[in-house]
Structure 1
């Protein structure tokens, strides 16, 4: 079919060229030389055959191989098959060569878009599966407490308030889970953009620590902020960096030991980078789990995390924010000894006062 198509193109070109050229030359020769009708007819037939043959083979030589290349590319795109096309050498002699180049570029763009769409689709499937799994526990718990109350426990003064508090605790868990799900969804799909601005790093850290001080007091955890240069400025999204610090410090508190410590500090890495760290004296992470702690819904201690209202999304949010900033997150941990979470930030300036 492909060869017939290209033969038809060459045939059409040769036919039109012959029908224009042969009669024109024949009429001129008849007018100039005074050829008879029979001789003029023979000349027309001879010229038609010669022009047809030359035009057909020249057209086939110039176009068929390039049209074959273009058809190959388009057929692969329609079948969702993609190649590098390193074997296609385009010299850019005319518009057809340029069209082949554009077709190859279009093929690569379609390939990238399909990869992106497949990634989003896989993410959607995983995300829906994760959501349905995580929502079941608090929903079933709320349902159980309400059913128990409706079956008569609501009139029992000793249990009704307890059950309502437990139901409310699970409602709060659903609220936090929904909030984190919305944030991780926007981060993973690239919908949430970073509002980059210059800020003093020490101000951001102290603001977060002040807001979380009550949690350390409730848990009897010592929160230590190491002193560092107040004049160091970074370029980042203020709210997102605060979210990173909040998630890391809350995790350090949640998975700490009784009378434990959480340390927050900064290390100047040189001309353009600083490194923040959050260190705890908690339960630590098994070496086999370190690579997975930033996955959605992965929990080192599932029962402890759920008991304290953890959604399993905190570190995943941290990872995506840090990567969106073009920075690096590293984790060091030993079971029963604690963990250290470090992440880099880009320094803007160091103003001396």
Structure 2
């Protein structure tokens, strides 16, 4: 195998060759009687002395650069093995510093990319697990009730009707879950094209409330609507925005106690952004859970979703996708025992 020179040895060899060329040149000049013996001896001595000093200076200057190159080589090997938590020191000449900066930026981009891939893989695994659970639970209930009916285990009519009602509710729950998954998938893929139009804010809120009249009536919930006269109009996809606000309202109704109040408010923010918010009197959300409430399948109280009192944990994720596609933002403010306030902002102009 061919032996390769190290960087330091290579530069020292080049320096030695340069000095040897000088010595040979001086000797040739002497041979052709262009220099006397004394002149030749003096020049040779000066050249050898300069060579020794030059080699020493080269050794001192090259040592930190060679050390830096060894560090870069070792760090490159670590990156090749999958370790991206590396920062090469930016020392030496400007070109070396630029190289170190480029290497660190590459390492940082690779680190961020792999962190996103890892998070995506974890989210995919969690999504599959949650979907499997949420599909399996109602399917198991339906199967057990259907088998009981087929085996003529149920004799009285009241129990028979209750079993049929349970099967119907679990079927509706499955249908809602599949619809939410389908909707979320379409939003993520960009298949749904926004058909924006100018809509009055008060009319939008009124239509959302009318579609949830029965749910509000069942829990005897009062809704206070606060809309300024000068709020104006907004450019939104009518269907998608009603779905987003409807999901927020359903969430507020679900966690609101009976005979409580929900405040539906519209206001103007800076840059003429319009803010729509819903505030309930529910149990509130713990501070450590606020960052996760918009995650898919996340429930602040998982038991409520399993027992049928809550959703599958996709409603708020759908709201977030819709709001982002409109160029707005979504947020929540909440404290335990003080209810929750969900808000979204919408730009005043059409999103191209």
Q: Who is 1:38 aligned against?
A: none
Shift in Å, 1:81: 5.2
1:163-174 → structure 2 map (5 Å cutoff): 163=163, 165-174=165-174
Q: Deviations over 1:160-201 (max 9, x none)?
A: 7764553343232123223434666898xx767996978543
Q: CA deviation at 1:73?
A: 3.4
Q: Which residue does the alignment assign to 2:112?
A: 112
**Cα offset, 1:141, TM superposition:** 0.8
- Asked if 2 retains the 8 angstrom alpha-carbon contact of 1:226 and 1:265, the reply is yes
Alignment TM-score, normalising by the size of structure 2? 0.67
- Post-superposition Cα deviations, 1:106-156, rounded to whole Å, max 9, x if no partner, equal 111122223222322332343334333333321211221233344357999
Checking the alignment, whether the CA contact within 8 Å between 2:329 and 2:344 is kept in structure 1 is no
Aligned pairs for 1:307-322 (under 5 A) are: 307=308, 310-315=311-316, 317-318=318-319
1:103 to partner: Cα distance? 0.7
The residue that corresponds to 1:12 in the other structure is 10
Report deviation, 1:332: 5.6
TM-score by length of 1: 0.67
Matches of residues 1-353 of structure 1 in structure 2 within 5 Å?
8-15=6-13, 18=16, 22=20, 26=24, 29-30=27-28, 33-34=31-32, 50=51, 53=55, 57=59, 60-61=62-63, 63-77=65-79, 78=81, 80=83, 82-84=85-87, 88-90=89-91, 93-94=94-95, 96-152=96-152, 163=163, 165-181=165-181, 199-200=198-199, 201-217=201-217, 221-229=221-229, 231-234=231-234, 241-258=241-258, 261-269=261-269, 272-280=272-280, 284-285=282-283, 288=286, 291=289, 294=293, 296-298=297-299, 300=301, 302=303, 306-307=307-308, 310-315=311-316, 317-318=318-319, 325-331=328-334, 334=337, 339-346=339-346, 348=348
Tell me if structure 2 keeps the 8 A contact 1:138–1:171.
yes
- 1:227-257 superposed Cα distances (whole Å, 9 cap, x missing partner): 4336534577766643431112112333445
Would the aligned equivalents of 1:247 and 1:314 in 2 still touch at CA under 8 Å? yes
* Long gaps (5+) in structure 2: 34-43
Please state how far the C-alpha of 1:217 moved relative to its aligned partner: 5.0
Q: What is the root-mean-square deviation in Å for CA atoms of aligned residues?
A: 4.9
SS class of match (1:128): helix
Q: SS in structure 2 opposite 1:206? A: helix
Distance (whole Å) between structure 2 residues aligned to residue 250 and residue 199 of structure 1? 25
* Cα distance in structure 1, aligned partners of 2:287 and 2:280: 17
Go from structure 1 to structure 2 and tell me whether the alpha carbon gap of 1:10 and 1:289 turns closer, same or farther (over 3 Å shift). Answer: closer
1:39 maps to which residue?
none
Find the aligned partners of 2:212 and 2:230 in 1 and give their Cα distance. Answer: 20
Aligned equivalents of 2:221, 2:178: Cα separation in 1: 28
Distance 1:150 1:59 in 2: 90
Name the CA distance, whole Å, in 2 between partners of 1:194 and 1:92. Answer: 54
Decide whether the 8 Å contact of 2:279 with 2:341 is kept in 1: yes
Q: How many residues align?
A: 327
